[in-house]
Structure 1
Amino acid sequence: MPPAAPLRRLTLAAAALGLFAAAGPAAAQFATGPYIAGGFGWNLAPDTDLNLDQAAALGLGRAGYGSGGSVGFTPGVAGVLSLGWGFGNGLRLELEGNYRSNEVDSVSGAAGWASMGGPSGRQESWGVMGNALLDLGVFGPVVPYVGIGAGYVVTDWAGVRGLGQNGALRMRVDDSDGRFAYQGIAGLAFPVGFAPGLSVTAEYRFLGTLQPRLQARFDNPLTGATVASGAAEPDVYNHSLMLGFRYTLGRGATPPAPAPAAVPQASRTFLVFFDWNRADLTERARQIITEAVQHARSQRSTRIEVAGHADRSGTVQYNQALSRRRAETVAAELIRRGIAREDIAITALGETQPLVPTADDVREPQNRRVEILVR
C-alpha cells in the first residue's frame, strides 16, 4: 500500500473521531484526570519488499543479477506504555512509548534467485506516539474504545542476512532509520469492580511508518568483494494484539451542591456531596452542615435524619459501608456544632436510592451524598 493511502485513512479517522466526541453519550461517566496504561502481546509484521534504490539495482544489474526481493518475519512481540488524561466526556489524550520485535525467517527473490538460504537477523522498532482516543459508552461490563495516533518510530534491521542458494552472493543489512509513524487503535476495557479506577484492556493496533532508508550490501562470500551497495526502503506495517491495563489516577470533580430546597410542613432537606471513594468533608460540605444546624435551631427542630448514599462504582457491600461512613461523618459534625446525639437518626442506603440512575460501575458525583432532613 503506498504511504499516501494510510495517511488519507488516518485523516478520515481523525474527522470521525471528532464527530464522535461531539455526539458521544452524555449520560456515561468516563475517565477524568491523569491515568497510566500499558499492554503487551503478539506482533505480526507482514512480508516486505526490499525496494532497492537505483545504486543497488544498477550494481546488481551490472553483476548480472535482478534487483527484486522480499523479507519475511516470524510472529514477534509488542509492548506499549502510556501516560494520558481523560476529559470526563469519553475523550482521552495520551503520550505513548512503544517497542516491537520480529525475527527474520526468509529472504526471497533478492538478486534474482527464487530464494536465499540461511536467513537471520531481526526487525525491531521503538518510538513515541501521541494518541487521541474515545470511549464509546458503557455496555454492561465493557467499555469499547477507538483511537488514532501519530508520532516518530525508529526501524532497526539488526544482522539481517541472506545467502543465495548457489552461494554466489550474500546480502547484509545492519542499519536503522526513524520516520513519521501513524496508527489506529480499537479496544475493549473491562472495569475491575473491587479496584475502582482500574480496567483490564484488550486491543488491536495497526502501526505503519513511512519507508525507512536502510543501507544494504551484496558481497561475494568467497572473496568478500562488494558486488553492489545502496539503500533498501522496506514497507513497515505492524498488526498487534495486546492485553493490558489502564488505571485512572484522577477523580471526577464534585458538582456544586444545589441550593437547599424547602419541604412542606417546615421540613427541609440539605444535600452534602463527597468526592469519589471518600468520606471526609470538603469546605463546601461544612458550610451546608452549618446551614442545616442554623435551620434546625430557628425551627426548634426535634428530629434530624441523616441518610448516606453511594454511587454504583465498587461492590454493593463496599458501597453500603461507604455510605454509612459518610452518614456518621456528617452526624459527627452536627454533634460538634451543638446538635444532641439523641436527636439524630442515622441510616445507610448504599447504592439503592440514586439521584441519577446509572449502569453498574459508573461513577456519578450526584449519587455520592448524604441527605440531612430537618423536621
Structure 2
Amino acid sequence: MNFRRALVAATILAMPIAASAQPVTGIYLGAGAGPDIPLNQDVKNLQLTNGALGGLSTSGKAKFGVGFTGQASLGYGFGNGLRAEVEGVYLNNKGNGFTDFTRTNGLAGGGTQQKYGVMVNGLYDFNGLSPMFVPYVGVGVGALWVNDDLHARNTSTFSYGGNTLTPGGFTAQTNGTTAVFAYQAIVGFSVPVPSVPGLALTADYRFLGTAGNRTDSANYNVSVSGQNFHSYGRVQMGPTYDNQIMFGVRYNFGQAPAPAPVPVAPPPAPIAKSYLVFFDWDKATLTDRARQIIAEAAANSKKVQTTRIEVNGYTDTSGTPKYNMGLSIRRAQAVAAELVRNGVPKQEISIQGFGDTHLLVPTGPGVREPQNRRVEIILH
C-alpha cells in the first residue's frame, strides 16, 4: 500500500467538507482502523533437548503478512494545540513463513500473532496553518500483550543431534502471551466536519514498537529413521515493529457552532441638502405634500448643523415677468413661514424670488409647466 497516495486521496475527499478548524478543548473520543505492516521479527534460540537425540538450537526471523489494526481513545484537549489521551490498541497479523535460520533456510509455517494493550499519548495540533486540515504529531508509551500462535516445519534437509532430518521431519508449534513495554510515534492530520461541530475525520501514520525479548513455550515433533519423537522446549521472540496507517473519526464534546458573522449595519442614508416644493398654477398656498417636504427639511437642518437656509421661489412662463416675480416671492415667503413653524430660526432663512427665470423644464412663453412652479430649499 502506498501511504503517500492514501494521504493524497484522503485530502481530496475531505476538501468539500472542510471548515475552519477550532482547537480541541476538553474531552474527546476517537476511533480508527487500518492496515498494519509488520517488519520481520527475530526468533532466538529455538531450543529442544531430548535425550539421545541431542540438542537443537537455531535462530532466524519470522515473517508476517499485512494485517489489521484498530484503536479507540479517550482524551483531553487543552485548547492550545496540546492533547493527552489514553488509547486501547489491537493488532492481528498472520504468519508468513521464516527466513535466515541457522542450520537451515527451509522453514515454512504460518499461524497468527495478536497484540493488544494500552498506550498513553501526548499530541500537538498545528492549528492555524490551514483552514482545510490540521496536521498533528505525537508520541506514546504503554504496554502490549503479545500472543504468538505460530507453527513451522522444515522444507529442506538439515542436521540435528547427529541425525539428518528430511523435509517434513521436524515440526514446531509455539504459543505464549507476554506483556512487553511499547512505544509509538504518530504523524497525521484531521479534517473538521462543518455540519457537526466537534466532529473531525483523521488520518495518520504510526510506528509502533516493543522492547525486550519474550519467551514462548514450544511443542516439537521429530521424525528420525522412522521413529517419531515428541518433546517440549522454548523459543525466544525478539522485539516487534509495526508500520500502521490509521483512518478514523474524533468527536470533541461541547463544541458550539461557529459564531455567525455579525451583520454590519448599513451606513445611514445621506441627508439631503436640497428640497423642492411644488405649487398649483397661479397659487402660493401649500399642499399637504408640500408641508411634509418642508417638515423634513426643517428636521434635517438640525442634523447637519445648518447655519443658513436659502428659500428660492420660481414660476412657469404663463404670466407676465412682473407678475411672475411677485408670485415667486410669495411662494418663497409661504415656505419660509412653514419652516419657522417647524422650529427653524427666522434669522437663518434668506428669501429670494426668481420669477420665470432658471426654468427646471425649459419651455417657451405662456406655458403652464408644473415642474417650474416650485420653491427650492437649500441647506448650508
Question: How does the TM-score come out when normalised to structure 1?
Answer: 0.56
Corresponding residue for residue 111 of structure 2: 121
Q: State the alpha-carbon separation in 2 of the partners of residues 175 and 34 from structure 1.
A: 37
Residue 152 in structure 1 maps to residue 143 in structure 2: yes
Tell me by how many angstroms 1:112 deviates: 1.8
- Cα deviation, residue 231, structure 1: 2.9
**The one of 237, 243, 250 aligned to 1:246:** 250
Give the Cα separation in 2 of the matches to 1:59 and 1:79: 42
Q: Aligned equivalents of 1:224 and 1:75: distance in 2?
A: 36
Trace 1:325-340 onto structure 2 (pairs within 5 A): none
8 Å CA contact 1:92–1:133 kept in 2: the answer is yes
1:23-38 matches, within 5 Å, as 29-38=22-31
C-alpha RMSD of the superposition = 2.6
Report the equivalent of 2:128. 138
In structure 2, relative to structure 1, the CA distance for the partners of 1:171 and 1:88 (3 Å cut) is same
Alignment of 1:49-60 (within 5 A): 49-52=42-45, 56=47
In the alignment, is the contact (CA less than 8 A) between 1:124 and 1:156 conserved in 2?
yes
CA contact (8 A) 1:30 1:89 kept: yes
Stretches of structure 1 lacking an aligned partner (at least 5 in a row): 1-27, 252-275, 278-309, 312-318, 325-375
Larger radius of gyration: 2
Determine the C-alpha separation between the residues in 1 that align with 2:142 and 2:50.
35
Does residue 100 in structure 1 map to residue 104 in structure 2?
Answer: no
TM-fit CA distance, 1:225: 2.3
- TM superposition shift of 1:167: 1.6
1:232 aligned onto 2:236: yes
Supply the AA of the counterpart residue of 2:110: S
Residue number in structure 2 paired with 1:205? 206
2:207 partner letter:
F
5+ residue gaps, structure 2: 1-20, 156-166, 264-380
| Percent of matched pairs sharing the same residue | 31
Higher strand share: 2
Shift of residue 86, structure 1, vs aligned partner: 0.5
Q: 1:196–1:171: structure 2 CA closer, same or farther, 3 Å change rule?
A: same
Q: Quick one: which amino acid aligns to residue 240 of structure 1?
A: Q
Displacement of 1:32: 0.7
Q: Does the C-alpha gap of structure 1 residues 248 and 68 become closer, same or farther in structure 2, counting only changes over 3 Å?
A: same
Distance 1:193 1:212 in 2: 47
Contact 1:109–1:116 under 8 Å retained in 2: no
Q: C-alpha deviations, 1:292-320, integer Å up to 9, x for none?
A: xxxxxxxxxxxxxxxxxx63xxxxxxx36
Q: Is the 8 A contact 2:40 2:62 kept in 1?
A: yes
**Per-residue deviation, residues 171-220 of structure 1 (Å, max 9, x unmatched):** 21111111111111111111112221111101011111123222234331
Q: What residue identity is the alignment partner of 1:101?
A: N
CA contact (8 A) 1:145 1:187 kept: yes
* Aligned partners of 1:99 and 1:127 also within 8 Å: yes
Alignment of 1:249-288 (within 5 A): 249-251=253-255, 276-277=256-257
Asked whether the equivalents of residues 66 and 110 of structure 1 are also in contact (C-alpha less than 8 Å), the reply is no
> Residues 217 and 232 of structure 2 are in contact (CA less than 8 Å); yes or no, is this contact kept in structure 1?
no
| Equivalent residue letter for 2:178 | D
User: For residues 17-96 of structure 1, what are the structure 2 equivalents within 5 Å?
Assistant: 29-52=22-45, 56=47, 63=54, 65=56, 67-96=58-87
DSSP 3-state at the match of 1:220:
strand
Give the 3-state SS of the residue equivalent to 2:58 in structure 1: coil
Amino acid at match of 2:81: G
Structure 2 counterpart of 1:161, from 151, 163, 175: 151
1:220 paired residue number: 222
SS at match of 1:42: strand
User: Contact conserved, 2:90 with 2:117, CA < 8 A, in 1?
Assistant: yes
2:75 alignment partner AA? G
Does structure 1 conserve the Cα–Cα contact (< 8 Å) formed by 2:49 and 2:55? no
Distance between the aligned counterparts of 2:85 and 2:183, measured in 1?
14
Equivalent residues of 2:215, 2:234 under 8 A apart: no
Q: CA deviation at 1:227?
A: 5.4
Letter in 2 for 1:51: K
Contact 1:215 1:230 in 2 (8 A): yes
User: Equivalent residue of 2:44, what SS?
Assistant: coil
Structure-1 residue corresponding to 2:287: none
In 2, Cα distance between equivalents of 1:42 and 1:80:
12
- C-alpha contact (below 8 Å) 1:93/1:133 kept by paired residues: yes
> Conserved in 2, the CA contact under 8 Å of 1:35 and 1:250?
no
Deviations 1:1-44 (A, max 9, x none): xxxxxxxxxxxxxxxxxxxxxxxxxxx85111100001100001
Q: How much does 1:138 deviate?
A: 2.6
Report SS of the residue matched to 1:139: coil
